[in-house]
Structures are given as C-alpha cells and as structure tokens.
Amino acid sequence: MKARPAVWLTWGALAFFMLNLAGIVGAVVTNSFAESWFGTWLPDGYTGKWYGEAWRDYRLLDVLVVTFQVAIAVVVISVLIGVPTAYALARRNFPGKKLLNVLFLLPILMPPMTYGIPLATVLYKFHLAGSMAGVIAANLVPAVPFVVLTMTPFIEQIDTKIEAAARMCGANTVAIFTRVLAPLLVPGILAASILVLVRTVGMFELTFLTAGPTSQTLVVSLYEAMSSAGIRPQQMVDSMAVIYTGSMLLLLVIALRFVNPTQLVTRLKEPA
C-alpha cells in the first residue's frame, strides 16, 4: 500500500482545483443575481432584473439567432464538403495523399490568430468581412478539416466488403451511397456535427476578426460587452456570460449523449 499518499495527493489536488473552479463560477453567477456587491462576502440583495436588461440592451435575441444561423450553416457545409473528402482519403491511396493530409491537419494545428489575420485581410479585400458569409467562411476553415479528421478513421472501420456486396447485388454508385453508406455513416456524422457545432459557438478569434456589427455571435458580443463595460453595470455582463455558459452546457449535454468523450481517439472495448 505504498501508493496511498500519491492517490490522496491526486484527489486532493483535484478537489482543490474543483473548489476554486466552483468559486470562480459561483462568483459570476452570484454577481449576476446581485442588487449590488462591493467588498462583502455576499451581495446586499438579490434580483433577476439584470437578465432582462442584458437581454434587451445587448439584443440577445438577434445575437442568438445569428449564432444559430452561423453554427448551422457551418455544420451543414462542413459535413457536405468534409464527408466526401474523408471517404476518398479513407478508401484510396493515391499520389499526393500525404500532402493533402497535411493540408487538412494544418488548420487544426495552427492557432486561429495566425491564419485568421491573413484570412480577414483577404475577406476584407473581397468585401466579405463584416457579413454573415464572411463569418461562416472563416469558421469553416477549422471545421471542414475537423470533419475530415474525425470521419476518416470512422469510414476506415466500415468494411469495404459491404460496398462490394452491394455492387454485386446490382446497386449503382448512387444507391450505394444513399442506401448502404449513408445509414452506416449517420452516427459518425452526427458526432462530428455536434462537435463542430460546439466548436463554432465557442470560436472566438475567427468570428471576432471577421464579424461586423450585425454578424456577431454570442461569444464575440459577450467580449465586446465586457471590454466596453463601464457605462453598464457589471452584473449585466455577468448575466450574459451565464446565458452563454448555459447554452454551451446544453449543447455539451446533448453532445455527450452521442459522443463518448473518452473514445475520441481509440475505440477499444473495456474489459467487463
């Protein structure tokens, strides 16, 4: 039983981290319900009015609609582009495949700021920046490679014999895609789309660099609200942050129903 102290240390450190985290989140949630809170343990009184004011003042309904539109557009387009690419990459070995793989890996490996600034420059040149199309285009840059990278191993594990058998039975290419592959791909596509959705809603840098006043998503308008505070009470920013986290939490709960986070990399059955 030599390992005991190490075990306690691990759990102890984790508990300390969690305690601080609870304090951090708790402070924001408490403040968002506070009448006023200056230098005391707890606020003087509680109210829910900041949520209403934030909702009206920051036009959160419009912002949420924009966020939703951008996220859905990014998911649909990235799946439409990414899945066929992943299929070809999973099924064929061809000259130049390595190069293509690297090209699809780079946008995920690069910090968004590094390609975001040149991308914003290009989008400004073509007068796309500031519009919804620009925001969608910018968010697609990491989204499509993400779909390709998650779908390629998924397609690799689908037995090629199934396709061969379908062809033997007289199915044409369209039929193979719609009636054989599509049903098998649905779980993978669903998982990839939900992850892309979560990433897009949370993506700050690219949206920040390319959005105009009418194409801001929730993260960006939250950042703008925080950096231009001062005139408005702190509680409004906090209640908006709580709304953001609430919607992200909702998305994550949905995502966790479809994706097992511990099996993102390898699929190995745990021993019973």
Partner 1 sequence: MTAVLERASLRHRLAEKGVDRVLWLLVPGAVFVVLLFVYPFLYGLQLSFQPKSGGSPFQNYVTFFSDEYLAETVWITLRLGLPAALFNVLASIPIAFRMRGRFRGKRALTTLLVVPITLGTVLTAEGLLAFFGPTGWFNRIWLALGADEPARLTHNYWGVLFSLIITGFPFAFLLTLSYLSGIDPTLEQAAATLGASKRQRFRTITMPLLAPGLAVTFCLSFVLAFSVFPSAVMVGNPAGETHVMSIAAYETALRDNDFAMGSAIAMLMALVMLIVIGVVLIWRTTLYRGATGGKG
Q: Minimum CB separation from partner 1 for residue 68, in Å?
A: 16
* Helix 132-156 with 182-202: angle, nearest 10 deg: 140
The pair of three-digit structure tokens given for residue 206, joined into one six-digit string: 């690219």
Q: Give residues 61-120 in contact with partner 1 (rule: CB under 8 A).
A: 80-82, 84-85, 87-89, 91-95, 97, 100, 103-104, 106-107, 109-120
Given the complex with partner 1, which of 61 and 250 has the nearer CB atom?
A: 250
Q: Give residues 210-229 in contact with partner 1 (rule: CB under 8 A).
A: 219, 222-223, 226-227
Give Cα 48 to chain centroid, integer Å: 29
- CA dist 242 and 236 (Å) reads 10
Q: How many CB atoms lie within 10 A of CB 124?
A: 14
Given the complex with partner 1, which of 4 and 183 has the nearer CB atom?
A: 4
Total residues binding partner 1 (CB under 8 A) = 93
Q: Give residues 42-61 in contact with partner 1 (rule: CB under 8 A).
A: none
The pair of three-digit structure tokens given for residue 258, joined into one six-digit string: 């479809």
Given the complex with partner 1, which of 40 and 168 has the nearer CB atom?
A: 40
SS3 159: coil
Contact 114, 203 (CB under 8 A): no
Q: Give residues 170-209 in contact with partner 1 (rule: CB under 8 A).
A: 198, 202, 204-205, 209
- CA dist 168 and 101 (Å) reads 32
Q: Give residues 115-174 in contact with partner 1 (rule: CB under 8 A).
A: 115-122, 137-138, 140-141, 144-145, 148
- CA dist 149 and 88 (Å) reads 12
Given the complex with partner 1, which of 168 and 253 has the nearer CB atom?
A: 253
Given the complex with partner 1, which of 231 and 265 has the nearer CB atom?
A: 265
Smallest Cα–Cα separation from 81: which of 189, 158, 167? 189
Given the complex with partner 1, which of 69 and 234 has the nearer CB atom?
A: 234
| Candidate list 47, 69, 131, 245; residue touching partner 1; CB under 8 A | 245
| Candidate list 71, 73, 180, 241; residue touching partner 1; CB under 8 A | 241
5 counts as binding partner 1 under rule CB under 8 A:
no
Smallest Cα–Cα separation from 183: which of 162, 207, 209, 165? 162
Q: Minimum CB separation from partner 1 for residue 202, in Å?
A: 6
Contact 107, 141 (CB under 8 A): yes
